[in-house]
Amino acid sequence: MKKNNLLLVASLGLLVASCGKTGPRKTPGGIEYTVEKAGKGDKLKEGDTIMVHFSSYLNDSLLIDTRKEQGSAIPMVIQPSRDKFDLMDGFAQLTEGDSAIFVLPLDSMPQKPPIAKPGDKMFVHFVVESKYSVAKQNAKEEKTIKEYIDKNSLKATKSPKGVYVAVTQEGTGAQPKTGDMVSVNYTGMLLDGTKFDSNVDSTIRPGMPLQPLQFAIGSGQVIPGWDEGIAQLKQGSKATLVIPSAMAYGLQGGGPTIKPNSVLVFTVELLDVKPGAPAEAPAAPAPAPAPGK
């Protein structure tokens, strides 16, 4: 897709001299880069997980723009570089909040786009939106979750691990514990009301049988927020669970609908609770030998 050259120059910040900026820097591997806009966060390092937007151009032709294609920032772990052209070296030179342009001379690279010609350059624009941590993400989502709860007039209680549980119909049966087998009806939604899954609505999964979901509490068969949230209910209860992203699909998201760091909402009905198999008692220690034997 061809783009206007002036737009490219502006977006890549190549006119650094006219903007009063310093000239390009170089990564340890020798790749030139310019920090278009300096952030105010922490210095990045190997092992950090960062949330980024990036776009790449072959000369003045746009190849990829994740902001348009993905919408939200995508996760990336800064790893040790594998060769001199590895941009991981460049990420480790940046700061949280930086917007930077890397210039890759394709003639010197071992792999290049099949449409590239001698003398072509690749421009890669990275915007480091934030450095990820569970604590920071939870704090960011706390306000959003409370706004959702207030807007929808939910009487929610926060569970020990951070799932908000609003019981809309109190059950009278057993409350499940780790290992118990439960049967649940549910509908899953994003905060904006978009439904992404249900076992009671045939329009969401056409052709799939509508039957209760069965799983053992605490076995890891479902997202952590489900293990935590369902364990707060009694058999027969109906409730709304508001689950922080770290207790749902986290950084990876869940397909095209559930973006990274999505808070999820589930309306659930706990239909049945069956006791799990009793834990095996530890083997008794062998008796100590009699004195003198």
Domains of the chain: 5-131 (3.10.50.40), 134-274 (3.10.50.40)
Q: What is the distance between the alpha carbons of residues 91 and 61, in angstroms, rounded to a whole number? A: 24
C-alpha to C-alpha distances, 21 to 35, 46, 243, nearest whole angstrom: 9, 27, 44
d(CA 118, CA 78): 30
Distances (CA, A) of 165 to 108, 147, 161, 200, 218: 57, 15, 11, 20, 17
Q: How far apart are CA 160 and CA 232, in angstroms?
A: 10
Q: List the pLDDT tens digit at each of the 293 positions of the chain.
A: 344 433 333 344 333 333 335 458 888 888 899 999 999 888 999 999 998 999 999 888 898 999 888 777 888 899 988 887 788 888 888 999 999 999 988 877 767 777 778 888 889 999 999 888 889 899 999 999 999 999 999 999 999 999 999 999 999 999 999 999 999 999 999 999 999 999 999 898 888 888 999 999 999 999 999 999 999 999 999 999 999 999 999 988 888 889 889 999 999 999 999 998 765 555 555 555 544 44
pLDDT of 242: 98
Residue among 2, 126, 107, 127 at smallest CA distance from 59? 2
Q: Please give the structure tokens belonging to residue 201.
A: 């609505």
Question: Which of 158, 156, 174 is closest to 166 using CA atoms?
Answer: 156
**pLDDT value, residue 265:** 98
Question: In the chain, which ranges are continuous DSSP H helix?
Answer: 5-12, 66-69, 88-91, 134-151, 224-230
Question: In this structure, how many other beta carbons lie within 10 angstroms of the beta carbon of residue 276?
Answer: 17
Catalytic residues: 186, 196-197, 223, 249, 266
* pLDDT value, residue 60: 85
| Radius of gyration from C-alpha coordinates of the chain | 26
Residues 179, 218 contacting (CB under 8 angstroms): yes
**Distance (Å, whole) CA 75 – CA 249:** 13
| pLDDT confidence of residue 122 | 87
Closest CA to 215 of 205, 226, 199, 229: 226
| Gap between the Cα atoms of 223 and 243, Å rounded | 10
